[in-house]
Amino acid sequence: MGSGVILIRLTGLVTIESEGRAPRHLSSAQAQAAFCRLVLERNMGTSRDQLADTVWPNGLPDTWASALRSVVSRVRTFVDSAGLGDQTQLIARGGRYLLRLPDEVTVDIEHAEEMVVRAAAAHAAENFADAQRFATAAVSFLRRPFLPDHEGEWVAETRERVTELLLSGLEIASLAASALHDERAALQYADEAVKRAPLRESAHRCLMTAHVTAGNRAEALRSYHRLCRILAEELGIDPAPETQAAYVDLLGSPATSAGRARRHHKRDRAPVRFTGRRAELAALARAWESTRAGSGRLVLVTGEAGIGKTRLVTEAARRVGADGGVVMFGRCEQGAPVPYQPFAQALADFAAATPEEALPPLSPEARRLLNALAAEPQQPSKTADRLREESLWTLGELLAGVARAHPVFLVLDDLDLAAQDTLTLLQYLFRRYGLALPLMAVATTRAQVHYSDRFRAVVQDLDREGAVHRIQLRGLEEADVRVLMGQLLPEGDENAPPAHRLIADTGGNAYLLLELLRWHQENPDGADRSGAALSPGILEHAAARLAALDPAARQLLRTAAVAGPSFEFDLVAAAAGLDADRALEALDALVADQMVTEVVAGGRGLRSVQEYRFTHDVLRRAIYQQFSQAHRRSLHGKLADAIERLRAEEPGRYSRSLAHHRAAGAAPHGDRRAVHSSWRAAAGAELDGAQNEAIRLYRQALHHVPHADLDLRTDALTRLGLAQLAGGHPECEQNLLDASIQALHIGRLDLAAQALLGLADVVSERPRLRDETAVLIDILLAKAGDTSAGTAGRTIDDLSRGRLLARLQRLGKKPAPGPVTIAALRAMAQELRSLTGIDHLARRFALADEMRLVATAVGDSTARVIAAHHRAMAAEALGDMPALREALAMLAVAAEDGGQEGDVGFADALLVDHAVATATAEGRFTDAAAAGRCLLPPEDDGSHGITPVPGTLAPKQLLIARWLRGSTWPRTDRAVLDAADPVERSLAALLDGDRGMPHLTVRALAIGAQQLPPGDEWMHAAGILALCAVEVGDVATADAVRELLTPYAHLSCGMGYRSFLGPVSFHLGRLAMVAGDWDAAELHLMSALSHLSGRQARPWVALAQYELARALEARGRLGDERCAQALRSEAEWTLADLGLRHSA
C-alpha cells in the first residue's frame, strides 16, 4: 500500500492507522464486533436486528434497542476520533446502519482477499514472482486472529472466510516459491498451512512439492505417508486422487488410472465391468478400422469430469490390444517437467514392453532416442534433458516409424491440459505425414469451456485438414445403470435406490453413479438414503469441480446449491451479490461445464424467468453439505431477501419458497420473519387443498416463534390447531385447548374466539372436553362483555359472538335472548350477504346453519328465514339435494311460525320463487305461470338483505320457459324487459328473431367488456349467456363462454333454489357442439343427464338427450348412430309430450 492510505485492521487488535497519527484502538468487545460488521457490510448497510445479533449472539438484553444505540455511539466516537475526514459518516436509515468511509481507506481483510485473487491469477499465468509477492502480502494481514474474544454466527462465518483466505494464500505462496526454487520459503509456507489445517490435502501436496524442490525426496515421501496416517486415523479414508497422483510422481511413474484409483474405506472395492457406451465403442471401432486401412485421425472424446472418458478409451484400447494392435498410453498433466510429456511416456512404455527384436526399423537417431527413453523411465530430469536435446523431427520420425510398422492406437488422456510443445508435436505429426500415417490418436478432453486458446487453435487447424472426429459423452442410460446396480448390489435389495432416482441424482455421470452405488453397498443400513451424508469421493469431486471454476461462477453455484435442485437465475444472482454481467458470464461457464442445465426461459406468472437445474443433484447436495450452519443460514437469508425484493408482485407463487428460506435462515432463538412467511405459505397451501403441507408449515412457524413472545406463540398454536382440525388430525384438540387457555390468560380474546370455535367443532364429535369447552366459551363471552379493555385483540366482534353462541347451543347450553344475541344475529346476516355468489359456498352453508341455531334458540323468526334462505341457496349450488330439501322445509316452517306479517310475506315470496322454478324445471309450465301470479311481491324494506327482492324472479324464470317452449309461449311483456338485465333482454330479442344488438351484447359479456351481475345472480345470468351464445352460433363467442363456465362444471345455473337453468355441464355440452368438439359435448351432456335425471327435470333431460344424439351423429364413430337413434326417439317423445320444440 502506498503512502497516505488509511488502514483499518480488523484482524488482531482492531485499529485505525493513518500517516502522521498514532494508531487508534477500539477496546470494547461489543463495539469491536459492531465496528467490524459495519465496515465489512458498508456497501449495503446492516439492519438493526442483524447488528444486535452480532453484538449479543447469546440472546438480546431486555433493553437491547437502547443498548445498541450506546454501542453504535461508541463506534461513531471511535471513527470520528480517528480523523478520517468529513466523508466519514455513520448514519441510520430505514432500520439499517450505514458506515460511509473515504475512498482512500483500506480494510485489511478486503485487501488480503484481493491479494489472494491476484496471486491465484498470477500463478495460473505462471507469473510466479508476482504470485509469491501477492500471496505473501495477503498472509501478512491474515495471520492475526479475527475477534478472538467474540463469538456468534456472523463472527464464525467471517472467521471461516479469513481462515480460508489465509490457507489459500499460504498454499499459493508455497507453490510459487517452489516454482522459483526458493526452497526455504516454500517449506515455511507449506508447513504453516499444514499445521493450521492438518486434514487439508492441498496443503500437504504443497509440502510434498516443497520438499521435492529442496531435493528431499525422502521427506516428500514421508509427508505423504504422514498424511495417509492422519486421514486413516481421523476420517477413515484414503488420500484424494490428486494426492495419490503426486505420490506416484514421486516414485517416478506416470499417474495412470491405477494411480488415480482410490478407496474411501478400508475394505477393497471390487472392479466394475465396463458397461454401456455401445454407440461410442462402435464409433471408435470404425475409426480404428480406417486407421488400419491407412487413414490416420485424431478422435476427441469430450465430456464433463467423471463421465467416463478415460474408461471408454481404455476399454477401446483394451479391445484393440486384444486384437493385436499396438496401443500406447500417455497422460497430459499441467506443468509437466518433461517436454512432449504424453508422447515421451507413451514411447517409454512402448520401448520397455517391446523386445529388441520386435522393434520396427528406425533411423539411427530415432533408435537412439527410443533406447534413451526406455533406459530413463524413472528419471524425469534426465528424460527432460534428453528430449530438449532432440529435435521435433526426431520425435516425429520415431512415432512415424513405429506407426508405419504397425498401426498405432495412441491414447492421449487429458489432452486439453497439454503443454504447448505437446500440441506442437501433435500438429506436426498430422501436417508432416497427413492422414496417410496409420496413427489413431484418441484424446480425452474436458468440456470446451476449459480449452485454452492454443489448444482450441490446434484442434481447429487439424479439423480443417479433416483429421478430427468428435465423440461427445453423455450420461449413462437407465438400462446401463441397472446393469451397474446388478454388479454392485445384492439381488433383491429392497433398500436399493431406483435407477431413475440415480439418473436424476447424477445425470448419468459414471463416477458419481459408482460412488453412490458403492456407498450404498458399504452402508447397507441406508445411512445415506436421507441425503444427510455422502461419500467422501462425492464430496471431494464436488470440491474439485468448484475449484476449477472462476470465483464468480463458484459463488453463483454455491448460492444455487442453497436455492434447491432448480433455481431462478436472477434470484440466485442477486443473493450471490453478482452484478448482471458477471452473473451472466458465470452462468455461461456453469452451463458449458454441464454443472447446470436450462429448464425454462419464458413466461411464468407475471414475468419472464430463466430457470435452471443442477445436472447432478448429488453434487448440489455435496456442495450444500460442506457449508457450515452459519454459512447456510446466511445464504438462505440472502435468497429470502432476493425473493422479497424481486418477486414482491407475486407473493402467492413464491410463498412456500420464501417460507423455506426464511425458516432455513432463521436465527436459532426465534425469528418473526420466518413465522410470518410460514403463515403466508400455509394459507396458500390451504387454498390449493394441500392441507398436510399447510399443517407442516404452521408447525414450522410455531417452531420459530421467539420463546418470550406469548402473543405470537398463541397465534401460531391457534393456527396450527385449526389447520389440524381441517385436516382431521387428532392432536388438534389439545393444541386448540392450550391455545384458548393461553389466549384467555394473556387477554387475546380474538385468538381465544378462533381457538374455541375450532375446539367446539372437535368436541361435538369427541365429547371428552365438552364441559370444559362450554366453560371456556362462557368465560370468553363474559370477558368480551367487559368493554373497559378496548385495545385490539382485547375484545371480539359480533360475528364471532354469534358463532360462539351457536357452539354453546350445540353443546347443550341455550343462549339467552337480549341485545348481545340481536347484535350477533345482525352481524351473521350481514356476513351472509357478503358471501353470496359461488366463491364461498361451503362457508355460507356452515354460517347459515350456525345462524339457524341461534335464531331458533332465541325465537327470532326473521333470522330463521334468512338463515334457511342462505342454507338453501348454498345447498342448491353445491348440488346437495338432501340439504336443499331440509333447508326448504326449515324455510316453510319458519314462514308458518313467523309472528310478523312481513316475515310471512317475504318467506312465502321466496317459496313462490322456488315453486315457479320447480314447475318450469319439471315441464309444468301452466303451473309455473299460475304460481307466478298468485302472490304479489311484499312491500320490502331491505332489512333481510336478500337480493333480488323475494317474489320478483317469476318473470325471469318464465323467460326460460319461453325459451323452452319457443313459439308456443307468449312474448315477454315490455315492462318486464325494461327492468331486465342486458343478457335477459338479449335472449328475448333472439327469441323474437333479432340478432345484431343481442350478438354484440353477448360478445361483450363473454369477453368481459361488460360485466355479468354479481352475487347470487351471476350463475343465473351466466346460464342465459350460454343459451344466447348457442342461439347466436358464433364459434369464437361460444369458446369464450365455455372458458368462462368451465371452472364451474359441477354446479347448476340459476339463483340457487329460486331459479333453474339447468346444470353448467348441459350448457358446456351445447357450447362444445357449436365449436364442433364432439367428444367434449358427449362428456358434458352425459354428466348433465345424470344430474337432471335426479331432479325429474323432464324438459331438460329431453333436450340433453336430443343434443347428445346430434353430437353422436356428427361424430360418426362405430356404434354412435344406433345410440343416437335411441336417444333421439326418447327425446322426441318427451318433447312432444311437453309441447316443446325440437331444436332448442
- Provide DSSP, 735-761: HHHHHHHHHHHHT-HHHHHHHHHHHHH
Count of other CB atoms within 10 angstroms of residue 1011: 11
Q: Return the minimum-mean-pLDDT range out of 588-602, 656-670, 997-1011, 1117-1131.
A: 588-602
Name the residue with cell 442477486: 574
Per the model's pLDDT, the better-predicted residue between 1087 and 935 turns out to be 1087
* Amino acid at residue number 517: L
Whether 159 shows a pLDDT value over 50: the answer reads: yes
Residues 584-604 have a mean pLDDT of 81
Q: Between 37 and 766, name the one with better pLDDT.
A: 37
Tell me the CA distances in angstroms from 909 to 40, 657, 917, 929, 933, one per residue in order.
Answer: 76, 53, 13, 15, 11
Per-residue cell: 903: 316475515
Asked whether the predicted pLDDT for residue 280 surpasses 50, the reply is yes
* Residue 971 pLDDT grade (very low, low, confident, very high; cuts 50, 70, 90): low
Q: For residue 149, with 0-12 CB atoms within 10 Å meaning exposed, 13-18 middle and 19 or more buried, which class applies?
A: exposed
Contact assessment for residue 599 and residue 612, using Cβ atoms and an 8 Å cutoff? yes
Q: What is the mean pLDDT of residues 435-448?
A: 83
* CB contact set of 722 (below 8 Å; sequence gap of 6+): 732, 736, 754, 755, 758
Higher pLDDT, 656 or 352: 656
Pick the CATH number of 951-1138 from 3.20.20, 1.25.40, 1.10.10, 1.10.443: 1.25.40
Q: Residue 969 pLDDT > 60, yes or no?
A: no
Q: Is the pLDDT of residue 530 over 50?
A: no
pLDDT score of 1142: 54
Residue-level pLDDT at 263: 35
Average pLDDT over residues 774-793: 76
Q: What's the pLDDT band for 1027 if we cut at 50, 70, 90?
A: very high
> H helices then E strands: how many in the chain?
52, 15
Which segment of 336-340, 568-572, 891-895 scores lowest on mean pLDDT? 336-340
Flag whether pLDDT at 896 surpasses 80.
Answer: no
Which DSSP letter does residue 415 get?
A: G
If one looks up domain 278-472 in CATH, what number appears?
A: 3.40.50.300
Q: What is the pLDDT of residue 260?
A: 34
pLDDT at 600 over 70: no
Give the position of cell 477496546. 27
Cα dist. 1017→592, 973, 1012 in Å? 59, 21, 8
Cα–Cα distance, 1019 to 507 (Å, whole number): 51
1057, three cell numbers: 333454489
pLDDT digits (tens, 9 = 90+) for 612-643: 999 999 999 999 988 989 999 999 999 999 99
- pLDDT surpassing 70 at residue 181: yes
User: Could you confirm whether domain 108-251 is CATH 1.25.40.10?
Assistant: yes
pTM: 0.65
Q: Report the chain's mean pLDDT, rounded to a whole number.
A: 84
CATH architecture of 6-103: Orthogonal Bundle (1.10)
- Sequence-distant (6+) residues with CB within 8 A of 681 are 655, 656, 658, 659, 697
pLDDT band at 266 (very low <50, low <70, confident <90, very high): very low
Integer-rounded Cα Rg, in Å, for the chain is 41
Question: What stretch(es) of the chain map to CATH 3.40.50.300?
Answer: 278-472
Q: Residue 381's pLDDT band (boundaries 50, 70, 90)? A: low
3-state secondary structure (DSSP) of residue 572: helix
State the cell numbers at 715: 397465534
Work out the average pLDDT over 649-676.
Answer: 92
The residue among 1002 and 525 whose pLDDT is bigger is: 1002
pLDDT(968) > 60: no
Q: Binning pLDDT at 50, 70 and 90, where does residue 899 land?
A: very low
Torsion region of 823: left, alpha or beta (phi above 0 gives left; psi -120 to 50 gives alpha): alpha
- Residue 68: which pLDDT band, with cuts at 50, 70 and 90? confident
The tens digit of pLDDT for each residue in 688-741 reads 889 999 999 999 999 999 999 999 999 999 999 999 999 999 899 999 999 999
Confidence bin at 901 (pLDDT 50/70/90): very low
CA–CA separation, 505 vs 641, rounded Å?
Answer: 28
**pLDDT of residue 299 exceeding 90:** yes
Lowest-pLDDT choice from 93-107, 204-218, 257-271, 1067-1081: 257-271
Is the peptide bond prior to 948 cis by the omega test (within 30 degrees of 0)?
yes
Q: Looking at the predicted structure, is the pLDDT value of residue 375 above 60?
A: no
Of 153-167, 324-338, 565-579, 795-809, give the lowest mean pLDDT range.
324-338
Confidence of residue 249 (pLDDT cuts 50, 70, 90): low
Query: According to the model, what pLDDT value does residue 608 have?
Result: 63
- Is the pLDDT reported for residue 304 higher than 70? yes
Question: Is residue 862 scored above 90 in pLDDT?
Answer: no
CA gap 337, 387 in Å, rounded: 11
More confident residue, 1037 or 268: 1037
**79: pLDDT confidence band, cut at 50, 70 and 90?**
confident
> pLDDT per residue over 499-529, tens digit each?
888 888 888 888 898 888 888 877 766 554 4
Mean pLDDT of 580-592: 92
Q: Which residue has the higher pLDDT, 1001 or 252?
A: 1001
Give me the pLDDT at residue 115, please.
Answer: 93
Find where cell 336430443 sits.
Answer: 1106
- Which residue pairs, CB below 8 angstroms and at least 24 apart, start in 964-969? 964/920, 964/923, 964/925, 964/1099, 964/1103, 964/1140, 964/1144, 965/925, 965/1139, 965/1140, 965/1141, 966/991, 966/1140, 966/1141, 966/1144, 967/1141, 968/1139, 968/1141, 969/925
Tens-digit pLDDT profile for residues 335-364: 777 778 888 878 876 775 565 666 777 777
